[in-house]
Structure 1
Amino acid sequence: MFDSRHIQTFAEVVRTGSYAATARDLGYTQPAISQQMKALERAAGTPLFVRAGRGLRLTDAGRLLARHATGILSSIETAHGQLKAITRLESGRVRVCAFPAANATLLPATVARLAASHPGIRVELLEEEPPDSLRALREGRCDLALAHSLGDDEEGVIQVPLLDDPLLALFPAGHALAGSGRVGLEELAAERWIAGCRRCRGHFLAACARAGFAPDIAFTTDDTLAVQVLVAAGAGIALVPGTALPLLRHTEVVARPLTPALGRRVSAFVLAGHETAPVTALLLRTLSEAAKDLEPAAV
């Protein structure tokens, strides 16, 4: 394995034609230059120079290495510059895996902040519900996952809480409870429901059980627009997260808070040790800032 410092010195010896001139230009002693070239020859496994009168002549191996030396040093310099750019947050890429409501609300606010403060940072989005988002994180398909209500701590994963996301009851505008201030979940025992995917409804089912009933789930969809249309049509009612409020555009649906309040914790997750990487740390800070602005609207 070549030492880049030795390659740099070698290139200078090739340019000057002598150890003495190289030592003078680089500020070393001549024996130090000689020792570096001997170390480089040991790494190469063959002589690189032969004496030619008072100067030096490259061997065939030396000429081969000389042809590559400029490219090697240029690549090192380019890599160093790119690393400095990443460290200074002038460039970089971060991959985020998030659930649909976050991709439609929290992530756009975060990306807008990053674009204003660090335009060289590129954010790539992947959509998965938990626990698939955590699986994507562990498999290296993303650098950061946004998820909710995961329960126990994940081994080897750092969790950064961002916001508490209340769940709201969604009614058709003409429903008897649409004008209520707050609605008790037990009041909804006789309703038909539109629920999310089977893997994502555990929190909902547990809350209904505590309220003393098993919900009549008539439709299953994770599509926010489909939920609104179904509710407006009177096909059932639904629970929606507060973060989805900006997505409720249908004029014939009404969202009401529950009592006692139900909600979920939205957090960012990164692999342990990765939270200090410059781009990841920047994204975590920006997510926290965006979440503070979003949370009041979600309550």
Structure 2
Amino acid sequence: MFDSRYIRTFHEVVRTGSYSAAARSLGYTQPAVSQQMKALERDVGTPLFTRVGRGIRLTEAGEALTRHAGTILDSLSAAQQQIDAIARLRSGRVRVCAFPSACATLIPETMAALAAEHPGIRIELTESEPPESLRLVARGDCDIALAFSYPGHTAEVPDELAEVPLLEDPLTVLLPTGHPLARRRAVRLADLAGERWIAGCLRCRANFLHACAEEGFAPDIACTTDDNLVMQSLVASGVGIAMVPQLVLSFLCHSKVTGRIVEPHTRRRVGAYALREQLRIPATALVLDRLVAVAGRKVGC
């Protein structure tokens, strides 16, 4: 492997025609240039110059290296410029995997803030629920995962991931606006024991069943969906009611649906997860910082 410093000096020797001229151009001593050329010749395993009187002439190997030296230096310069841009947050890509309600609430404000402050930083967004999203980070298939866990149902976090806490998200119940309990500010889960229910994703459904068991009843589940918009339509149509995190209320689309806090109070924990070494990468650290800021303006903070 060639030392880029030696290639740069070699290129200057060829351009100027002598070791002493290259030394003056680069601000080196003539012996320093001579030593670098000897080191480069050791690296390539053959002489690059021959002495001709008081001057030097390229060998066949030297001519071959000359044809590539400019390209090598241009590539190194381009690489350095790109690395500097990434380090100075003028460019960069961060792959984020998030669950649906985070995609609809935390991610848009984060992307908007980045577009205003650092337009060269781009987020590539995919949607996935935990624990699959956490596995994607552990495999290196994405840089940051937004995931949630419920009390007693901890997230399956691989050991190599670090957590950045974002918020505590209270659970609410979605009711048709004409429901008798919709007039209350908060609703006791036990008072809804006779209702038909629409259940959510596997993790949310497990927590829901646990919460109902704690209140002494088994819910009558009419159907299951992990699509929040479908769930709202089902509630609006009177198919059933649903227990959802409060984040979902920020993008309620149906005027015939309302949300009320569930008692006893239960919250899910929302965090961002990344490989520990990723925390040192400027663009990843920036996105995490903006996620924390956006989450601080949301529910349960």
Contact 1:194 1:217 in 2 (8 A): yes
What corresponds to 1:102 in structure 2?
102
Q: Supply the RMSD in Å over aligned alpha carbons.
A: 1.4
Shift of 1:281: 0.8
DSSP-derived class of the 1:95 partner: strand
Shift of 1:9: 0.4
Distance in 2 (CA, whole Å) between partners of 1:15 and 1:51 is 17
Residue 120 and residue 163 in structure 1: after superposition, are their counterparts in 2 closer, same or farther (change >3 A)? same
Distance in 2 (CA, whole Å) between partners of 1:159 and 1:205 is 27
Contact 1:173 1:252 in 2 (8 A): yes
Deviations 1:227-259 (A, max 9, x none): 111111111110121111122110111111111
Q: 1:76 is matched by which residue type in structure 2?
A: L
DSSP-derived class of the 1:104 partner: helix
What corresponds to 1:151 in structure 2?
154
Contact 2:135 2:158 in 1 (8 A): no
The more displaced of 147-156 and 237-246 is 147-156
What corresponds to 1:180 in structure 2?
184
Identity of aligned residues (%): 59
DSSP-derived class of the 1:201 partner: helix
DSSP-derived class of the 1:294 partner: coil
Distance in 1 (CA, whole Å) between partners of 2:4 and 2:133 is 41
Shift of 1:198: 2.8
Tell whether 2:236 aligns with 1:232: yes
Taking structure 1 as the reference length, what is the TM-score of the superposition?
Answer: 0.96
1:286 to 255, 278, 290: 290
Taking structure 2 as the reference length, what is the TM-score of the superposition?
Answer: 0.95
Contact 2:163 2:271 in 1 (8 A): yes
Shift of 1:268: 0.5
DSSP-derived class of the 1:249 partner: coil
The more displaced of 64-73 and 151-160 is 151-160
What corresponds to 1:256 in structure 2?
260
What corresponds to 2:78 in structure 1?
78
Shift of 1:200: 4.0
What corresponds to 2:276 in structure 1?
272
Distance in 2 (CA, whole Å) between partners of 1:96 and 1:24 is 51
Distance in 1 (CA, whole Å) between partners of 2:166 and 2:201 is 24
DSSP-derived class of the 1:295 partner: coil
Distance in 2 (CA, whole Å) between partners of 1:292 and 1:249 is 24
Q: Where in structure 1 do 4 or more consecutive aligned residues deviate above 6 Å? A: none
Q: 2:170 is matched by which residue type in structure 1?
A: P
Gapped runs of 5+ residues in structure 1?
A: none
Distance in 2 (CA, whole Å) between partners of 1:214 and 1:224 is 23
